[in-house]
A and B are shown apart, each in its own frame.
Chain A
Amino acid sequence: MAKKIAKSYIDRVKRENAKRDKKTITSIENAADEIYKKIMRKGKPMLRFPVRSLSNVSYDKRKGYLEIGKARKERTLTVNTVKGFAQTLRMMGLSRELVQTNDFATKRDVYYQSKNWAEAKFSEQSESDTVMDDIEALFSVDDVSREQLRFVPDEHGGAVAGELVVLDPDLDTGEVERIDCTRFGSGAYSIPSSVEHLSFETKAKFVLAIETGGIFQRLQSHKFWKTADCILVSMAGVPTRSTRRFIRRLSDQIKIPVYAFVDCDPYGISNIYRTLKVGSGNAAHINRFFCVPSASYLGVTPQDIIDYDLPTHPLKDVDIKRAKDALKNDPFFQSKRQWREALEQLLKMGVRAEQQSLAMWGLNYVIETYLPAKLANSKKFLP
């Protein structure tokens, strides 16, 4: 029975993968074909990229993420752009090959692969990263993500612990690995760089995304997930793409709320939480895949600083600048009244407080008092 389920699951994943891969290859081939046809008509071929800057970003409340606008910039093939053009096309060719051979390449891998491209090779990885960003933007218009282009990030994903079973199909053997995230002892499950093929089984009531490894460890070792019936995810700073994608797929598939628990400072709010929820401003072309619109902000809120009488540090100049910038330029914060008030309150107080400042009231105060109190009143979470 289980075997049958596994087989159907693997077949489904294979089908989905095949569909995605076909779409990727079609996108690449269409782009190349357009160029080829233009050349055969003796015209100047061009590529159209979405403009990647804050001026071309908007926040759509309904969709729930920062969205790239309609502005496009054209790159026509001229004498000055011929090198970049050749590199872009070669990298598209590499992507197609990766899809066909069911392989992947990290940024660094791509850089070294380019060494086979004779004069079109990159001399620095920063050059190949730029071209990769271009290609990603180019195909984001067709809803093809970087992962679908088989370019994966080098960076590590976050850690997961709690009431969750991750189903990871091995397409070669036809086996489906069942990874029980409660059974890592004092360790945790590490999110892989590509999460598209995963599926989940859980009875948890919510996901708690935590900024610092310190708090994650405390909650994990005291099995907070058991008492609160939840899934713990450590973001370790600004969440990586795969972490964001993992939480997103989790929340999409099993429809449970995602609560963010971060430091109460402009960085925790406008960088970590904002990126988790609506995506990042300068990579808006990928936000539709890499955001968790259902996330809400558990704490630490500016009001918590007062309510829990937390020890604070004064805001630094860079904090003040960041908060003011969020109020002035960020379409997300601009559209949320509660956030505008919270940020203004924070600025007025002129202080910040870390998650771990709760330790002043006892090391396990966060488990025993703070989180239960907050969770009892989830309506009060900031949007």
Chain B
Amino acid sequence: MPRKKPQASRTQAASKPTAKKKVSKKKASKKSTAKKTGTAASRRQGGLFDSEPTANSDRPKKKTAKKTAKKSIRKSASTGQGDMAIAEKMAAKQKDISVSEFFAKNRHLLGFDSPARALLTTVREAVDNSLDACEEASVLPELIIDVRATESTQHVVTIRDNGPGIVREQLPRIFARLLYGSKFHSRKQTRGQQGIGISAAGMYGTLTTGKPMRVTSRTSRRKPAVELVLAIDMAKNQPVVKKESEVEVEWAHGTEVQIELEGTYKKGKHSIDSFLDQVSLANPHVKIVYSNPIDEEPITWERVSKVLPDPPNEILPHPHGVELGILMQMMKETSSRTVSGFLCTEFCRVTPNVVKKVSDETEGLGKKIDTDRHPKRLSSADVKILHKGIEATRMMAPPTNCLSPIGEELMAKTLRRNFDPELVITVTRQPSVYRGNPFQVEAGIAWGGELPGDDLASIFRFANRVPLQYEQGACAITQSIVGTPWKNYEIQQARGALPTGPLAVLVHIASVWVPFTSESKKAVASYDEILKEMRLAIMEAGRKLAIHLRKKRRLADAERKKDYIKTYIPQIGIALQDILTLSDTQRTKAEGNLSEVLERSRKM
């Protein structure tokens, strides 16, 4: 029996040799560092690639597509030459595959896998973009969102913001070209990060309904609004302007996107309603007016703060957070002429003195790296040593003024507005650092009021003010809430479960780079430093909650016992009067004395 197995795998490998070879060849061409590839090495690399989350081993063609996409995302300029003849032959067969086409075939990766999610994803992406745009232009955001059914499974989604608007020339590229944007390259706390979302939504709409998206934008009161009807040329990843016109609108500035798409509207945890409710929790300065196909009246969340959050600063990456591959890339692209200059200009917290220390560290790692060398001339082995040297060198933590937390006071206000609880407790921790990335954790607890008392606590997770609605179980936030000893805080909790009670727990992590468990940004990865900060924030809030609950319980106990005394003392009086044939005055006196004695001794 065991002999059968390797044979089977051999036949499998033989049946699709192209796939296997393409992979190893690709790898070789991507990294100029790749050495002469022995079979073992290529197998290992193939294996590595297979472990990528996007890999899909039964469709070789798609693999190439994904590869291209990945390349574009990383902006990698693969200029290396493979040194195998077969590679050149194969290169002739390989052609550029548009990212648009790739995403058209892999729409689940971006959150369009079910009709219900498609609708939510569209709103999510538009809201993210609008809020980032408004804040960048220092405008207090006001969003008007309208979801309307055209058919039972077809909806028109219209989202308008009061942002700065977008100039005519940029409109097509922003809305109808994938991977175009300003946020991906910056190390700054922003909501959107990849520039995929809104154009993917438009594309999804076109794919499912055949209707192009409509974008209206006005940049100034003095100018009329421009309305474009946009489609995507999927083969070329290029926008196609189908119709262009100037229109009269009643708003002074802002952008409105309208997409018709196949999607189903529903209520519940993963609904648009719930998403917007959560957006309003983490964004006290935002006003949202939202109409949906079911409720007659639009839902409005008024802003509780008229102050924009401090604009997050952009920072240079910290050397401790950089991965080897990225470091190599950066060294290839830098305009600095020495390693020393490169490190000092492209990273924060690096001074010539620090560079010297790094250089000293490399000596102990096998080879002292001369930091006056040109960065492009370092071999990959040298970069590896340099990378290790950086890791080993102690340096200042990155600056943390780049973060913009919600703040204890405003978090409390939004929790009060949304839940009308009896008690709100909020905690904003001091910033901290994981892998060279500054981050900051906040926690808020709403307790009592209308919150259901018998259910598990509601959990609200936020990363850079964006609600996380899926994969709750896999998220560091959930882990840290479950790991909190709620019983110490007078709250029930079954072993290994969320706490039970009239409780809503909000946790927000702000960071220049929030680590997610996957590209779809659904759950925060469990780094030790992050888990620790989250736990500390929740525990601090929990302790404060416990103080309140204990006091409340004490008062209730005292009240109950007082009632208790009032209830039963007359019965003692009646019994004594009965047995001893006391007069009414004697009885009253006895009851009075007894109350006095018990009240006095009642130490609670």
- A interface residues with partner B (beta carbon < 8 Å): 28-29, 32-33, 35-36, 39-40, 42-44, 77-79, 82-83, 85-87, 89-90, 92-93, 96-97, 117-120
Contact = CB atoms under 8 A, between A and B. Distances in A.
Contact of B564 (A40, A83, A92): A83
Interface of B: 561, 564-565, 567-572, 574-576, 578-580, 582, 589-590, 593-594, 596-598, 601-602
Nearest to B557: A79
Given A39-B594, A79-B564, A83-B568, A44 B575 contact: no
A154 B388 CA distance: 89
Contact of A120 (B571, B580, B593): B571
Nearest to B577: A93
Contacts of B568: 82-83, 85-86, 119-120
B571 A118 contact: yes
Given A39-B594, A40-B593, A82-B598, A89 B569 contact: no
Contact of B597 (A32, A35, A44, A120): A44
Contact of B579 (A40, A79, A93, A120): A93
Contacts of B570: 118
Nearest to A90: B575
Contacts of A36: 576, 580, 582, 590
The 6 closest A-B pairs by CB, nearest first: A89-B575, A86-B571, A120-B571, A32-B579, A93-B578, A86-B568
Given A82-B569, A96-B579, A119-B568, A39 B598 contact: no
A318 B598 CA distance: 48
Contacts of A35: 576
B575 A92 contact: yes
A48 B151 CA distance: 82
B571 A43 contact: no
B576 A32 contact: yes
Contacts of B589: 40
A117 B570 CA distance: 10
Contacts of B576: 32, 35-36, 39, 89
B588 to A, nearest CB: 12
26 contacts: A28-B579, A29-B580, A32-B575, A32-B576, A36-B576, A36-B582, A36-B590, A39-B597, A77-B572, A77-B598, A79-B598, A82-B572, A85-B568, A85-B572, A86-B571, A86-B572, A87-B571, A90-B571, A90-B575, A92-B575, A93-B579, A96-B578, A118-B571, A119-B567, A119-B568, A120-B568
B597 A42 contact: yes
Contacts of B574: 90, 93
Given A36-B590, A86-B568, A29 B597 contact: no
Chain A at the B interface: SS class: helix
Given A82-B598, A87-B571, 12 more contacts: A35-B576, A40-B593, A44-B601, A78-B601, A83-B564, A83-B567, A85-B568, A89-B571, A89-B572, A97-B578, A117-B571, A120-B571
A216 to B, nearest CB: 44
Contact of B571 (A39, A79, A96, A119): A119
A35 B568 CA distance: 15
Nearest to A117: B571
A39 B578 CA distance: 16
A89 B602 contact: no
Contacts of B601: 44, 78-79
Contacts of B567: 83, 119
A86 B575 contact: yes
For B570, B593, B602, which residue has the most chain A Cβ atoms within 10 angstroms?
B593
A118 B566 CA distance: 13
A71 B598 CA distance: 27
Contact of B580 (A33, A77, A79, A118): A33
A42 B596 contact: yes
A212 B578 CA distance: 46
A135 to B, nearest CB: 12
A119 B564 CA distance: 10
Contacts of A87: 571
A43 B582 CA distance: 19
A47 to B, nearest CB: 12
A83 B580 CA distance: 20
Given A33-B580, A42-B596, A43-B597, A79 B575 contact: no
A89 B570 CA distance: 12
A207 to B, nearest CB: 40
B49 to A, nearest CB: 67
Contacts of B569: 82, 86
Contacts of A83: 564, 567-568
A93 B572 CA distance: 10
A10 to B, nearest CB: 30
B106 to A, nearest CB: 66
A85 B448 CA distance: 36
Nearest to A96: B579
Nearest to A33: B580
A93 B576 CA distance: 8
A201 B237 CA distance: 119
Contacts of A117: 571
A44 B567 CA distance: 18
B243 to A, nearest CB: 78
Nearest to A82: B568
Contacts of A85: 568, 572
Nearest to B581: A29
A39 B579 contact: no
A369 B590 CA distance: 71
A39 B568 CA distance: 15
B578 A79 contact: no
A92 B602 contact: no
A90 B576 CA distance: 8
Contacts of B564: 79, 82-83
Nearest to B596: A42
A70 to B, nearest CB: 27
Nearest to A88: B575
A373 B310 CA distance: 109
Contacts of A93: 574-575, 578-579
Contacts of B582: 36
B361 to A, nearest CB: 69
Contacts of A90: 571, 574-575
A314 B572 CA distance: 56
Contacts of B561: 79
